Amino acid sequence: MCPVLGVPYETGKDHIPHPHAPSLDRIDPALGYVPGNVVVISRMANTIKHDASFEQIGKVYRWLKRLTLGRR
């Protein structure tokens, strides 16, 4: 189960990775893949956080929340 998105891990088909496939992620990228600095999360969660900073992720969250609440 992905601890970020709460979805069960799934494997892909025909060598195409599934968005919910398990993915090894570094907590602090500067430290590398060393014990105590890695977690397993889904590919989708890893992709979402891959290029964005904590602040950018927060901005996207707040924007989506406003957009979604405005439609109700």
Q: CA–CA separation, 34 vs 29, rounded Å? A: 10
Position 51 scores a pLDDT of: 78
Residue 25 main-chain phi, psi, to 5 deg: -125, 140
Position 69 scores a pLDDT of: 80
Position 72 scores a pLDDT of: 61
Position 25 scores a pLDDT of: 93
Structural domain boundaries enclosing 42: 1-72
Domain count of the chain?
Answer: 1
Position 68 scores a pLDDT of: 84
- Residue 49, both tokens: 């956080």
pLDDT digits (tens, 9 = 90+) for 3-62: 999 999 998 888 888 999 999 999 888 999 999 999 999 999 999 888 788 899 999 999
Position 45 scores a pLDDT of: 93
